Amino acid sequence: MRLALAQMQVESGAVVANRRRAEAAIADAAARGADLVALPEIFNVGYFAFDAYQRAAESIDGETLTAIADCASEHDIGVLAGSVVEDLATTAERTNVETPANEGLANTSVLFDRDGDRLAVYRKHHLFGYDSAEAEMLVPGESLGIAEFEEATVGMTTCYDLRFPELYRDIAEAGANLILVPSAWPYPRVEHWQLLPRTRAVENQLFVCAINGSGDFEDASLLGRSTVYDPWGTTLASTGDDPDLVVTDIDLGRVERVREEFPAWRDRRL
């Protein structure tokens, strides 16, 4: 499988411009032969643009996600639209998709197949409270985000979730061989950004791909460094802090081969 991580520039509050950048990144990934491309956390409005959350919130069949679904179909590529600010009340009213509450906002990622059909919805479980308004403004998710995409069983988490290994073990137990982690990880916590996804890959013996944005906000700068880690925790592809498209081929059969060679997964005591 050829995988692309779209480390796009995210401009604070600029929903239309950010959406166009996302669409351009999807087209670029498809042109480079990617089967699946992942976008960063709250790519349409910007994670740190808290004052724009209510204005930019939409349902999972709203303008942004519909445009991304159409783009996936147009370019024949799977897309993780990770993530947008979801208006739960509108989703509950307009769709048959289960929501964690009948009102409020959520940090929501959606996985689309090559036809633009929705495969899975994931709402961020762990809301960031450290110097952030996210925990005050949003409703946490309750269900795992996992779906089959061609030969991959894809798990979905978001940014701060990386600090909670129990979630990743649950996803691995559910059969995932690839976990995608859309993020808006800022300076100065570079070491944590490099340590945590690698650790989640090693302890679960699967692929973990951390997709960050690029750009400056009033109180934060995203540090980029989107990276693909294999089941040994080895870096397969990475980039710096500027906008970029990380593209690499991954052998999903390697998950089972690594688990057979070094049987930590089998040796767990549950």
- Confirm whether 41 is a catalytic residue: yes
Contacts 24+ apart (CB under 8 A), 130-137: 131/219, 132/50, 133/50, 134/47, 134/50, 134/107, 137/50, 137/53, 137/105
- pLDDT at residue 135 in the model: 92
Three-state SS at 189: coil
- pLDDT at residue 197 in the model: 98
- pLDDT at residue 208 in the model: 98
Q: Which positions ≥6 away from 217 have C-beta within 8 Å? A: 12, 46, 47, 48, 49
| Residue 245: φ, ψ to 5° | -120, 115
Q: Which residue, 14, 103, 1, 111, is CA-closest to 56?
A: 14
Angle between helices 190-204 and 165-173 (to 10 degrees): 30
pLDDT tens track of the chain, all 270 residues?
999 999 999 999 999 999 999 999 999 999 999 999 999 999 999 999 999 999 999 999 999 999 999 999 999 999 999 999 999 999 999 998 889 988 999 999 999 999 999 999 999 999 998 878 999 999 999 999 999 999 999 999 999 999 999 999 999 999 999 999 999 999 999 999 999 999 999 999 999 999 999 988 888 999 999 999 999 999 999 999 999 999 999 999 999 999 999 999 999 988
Which residue stretches of 76-212 are H helix? 88-94, 134-137, 165-173, 190-204
- pLDDT at residue 219 in the model: 84
What pairs with residue 121 in β-bridges? 110
- Confirm whether 256 is a catalytic residue: no
- From the list 41, 58, 86, 134, the catalytic residue is 41
Q: Which residue, 123, 18, 113, 119, is CA-closest to 75?
A: 113
Domains and CATH numbers, the chain: 2-261 (3.60.110.10)
- pLDDT at residue 130 in the model: 82
Handedness of CA 122, 128, 134, 136 (dihedral sign): positive
- pLDDT at residue 129 in the model: 84
With contact defined as beta carbons under 8 Å apart, do 192 and 217 qualify?
Answer: no
With contact defined as beta carbons under 8 Å apart, do 200 and 170 qualify?
Answer: no
- From the list 23, 58, 71, 124, the catalytic residue is 124
Q: Is 42 exposed, middle or buried (0-12, 13-18, 19+ CB in 10 A)?
A: buried
- Confirm whether 11 is a catalytic residue: no
Whole-Å CA distances, 106 to 13, 202, 205, 247: 17, 29, 30, 29
- pLDDT at residue 238 in the model: 98
- pLDDT at residue 4 in the model: 98
Residue type, 169: R
With contact defined as beta carbons under 8 Å apart, do 162 and 156 qualify?
Answer: no
